[in-house]
Structure 1
Amino acid sequence: MTSPMPTQTLAPQRTWSAVLFDLDGTIVDSASDITASLAHMFKELGLDVPSDEVLRSYVGPPLLDSLRLTAGFDDAEAWEALNVYRDHYADHVLRSPVFPGVAGVLERLHAAGVPVALATSKPESMAREVLDHAGLTPYFTEITGASDDEELSTKADVVREALRRLRERGVDVSNPVMVGDRGYDTLGAGANGVPTILVEWGYGSPAEASDAMAVVHSTDQLRNLLLG
């Protein structure tokens, strides 16, 4: 996050039945690759490239929605832009590094028998590629992302689907928690009655932390909140 936020604490005895993770800005540092593909997209469409700050605002929410709301595209223009973006980003999606320490947290959760699900607005097929490439797939009970047709795209819908898939596997989802980096994660999880821990190493701003249950600045803090 762009500037320090006050770190909140949780009761040390709290036990989570499942943990949901965002991907971009939480597990992988993908902002530069995403914004590079966005810049390419605007150039290919013959449009001025927005500032870096504006480009970074696209990271997190469903891109089709952002193209409509932020760029002002109509439906046809938004889909054309999305396809240009995806074609370029597909060649760069595996370059994004995992944030230091995150793999260790996932490994500890897996070793402790805590079910873990991915809940990302990135297309599910791309998300799987990222986790496979990083060697993180074995730590996940479920991998849930947006559908290619964007019918399933909002964070609330993705979280709902992740919980549904976990439930179908017989996982206890009575006390889940979301780990993300944007207020968008908090709102989407909250729509499903799931509290959120925000990580400071992501792409959100301090203002986005107002509805989070806790904010952490290190993977050690995150591990302690998830495992005690």
Structure 2
Amino acid sequence: MSRGRPVVLLDLDGTLSESAPGITASLAAAYRDLALPVPDAAVLRSFVGPPLTASFRTHGVPEPLVADLLAAYRRHYDAGGLRDTRVYPGVRDALATLRAAGCTLLVATSKPRVRALPVCAHLGLDGLLDGVFAAPDDEASTSKADVVAAALASATDAGTDRRPAVMVGDRVFDVAGAHANGIPCVGVAWGYAEPAELADADAVVRDPADLARTVLDLLRAA
């Protein structure tokens, strides 16, 4: 049976977009709204990528305040933080190269869908993407592996084997989500990973100019 067009799954924050300024400023404002001590810059930066409620709990936000803190963050983010983001230089060219090579490009992000879609539109990436898969709007307990699985399922056509696929992301959650679904992951070093966080990635790229070639090499080997 035919395997169909290869699939490239793309994380959003820290992979396609430099989004930390808007996210961290909105988080700091939300903490201040609830009269909570604002975490330092490194901690706020670590929140970029995984589900926010999990990060809140990890960093000691009392459970009764988690929902209120998330709501305050969303108010600030929707009011301005959402637009304080940009596409990393060279990423748009990499996506164009992958599309020209016949790849299906799908965003797979832990960001809620209600915010992932406007961000992609704001960045002007719509014409380069074939779909956006994200966390539920209520940020219910959805792992990156769940988002990756949903994206892969959408790209499995009746009468074909599962298409060859690669995940591209900047955090350990992307690597783990890809491997949980049996696909390789390209880690990007320009995002928000801590040192050694991408140690288990199947390849690591440090320059967007090398991204398309690395992805295509992994797809050929799949």
TM-score (norm 1): 0.87
User: Which of 182, 197, 204 is 1:208 aligned to?
Assistant: 197
Q: For 1:154 and 1:38, locate their aligned partners in 2 and report how far apart those are by CA, in whole Å.
A: 21
Q: What are the residue-to-residue correspondences of 1:43-192 with 2, within 5 Å?
A: 43-74=32-63, 76-91=64-79, 92-151=81-140, 153-167=142-156, 173-192=162-181
**Distance (whole Å) between structure 2 residues aligned to residue 158 and residue 103 of structure 1:** 23
How far does the alpha carbon of each residue in 1:65-96 deviate from its partner, in whole angstroms, 9 at most, with x for none?
1111223331x421111111011101220220
Structure of higher RCO (CA pairs closer than 8 Å, 6+ residues apart): 1
Q: What amino acid is the match of 1:174?
A: R
Identity %: 44
What is the letter of the counterpart of residue 194 of structure 1?
I
Letter of the aligned partner of 1:109 in structure 2? L
Aligned with 2:74: secondary structure?
helix
**Unmatched segments (≥5 aa) in structure 1:** 1-15
The number of residue pairs the alignment matches comes to: 213
Deviation per CA, 1:145-171, whole angstroms, max 9, x where unpaired? 111122363211111111122226988
Distance 2:199 2:176 in 1: 11
Q: Counterpart of 2:220?
A: none
Q: CA RMSD for the aligned pairs?
A: 2.0
Of the candidates 206, 210, 215, which is equivalent to residue 221 of structure 1?
Answer: 210
Shift of 1:179: 0.4
Partner of 1:17: 6
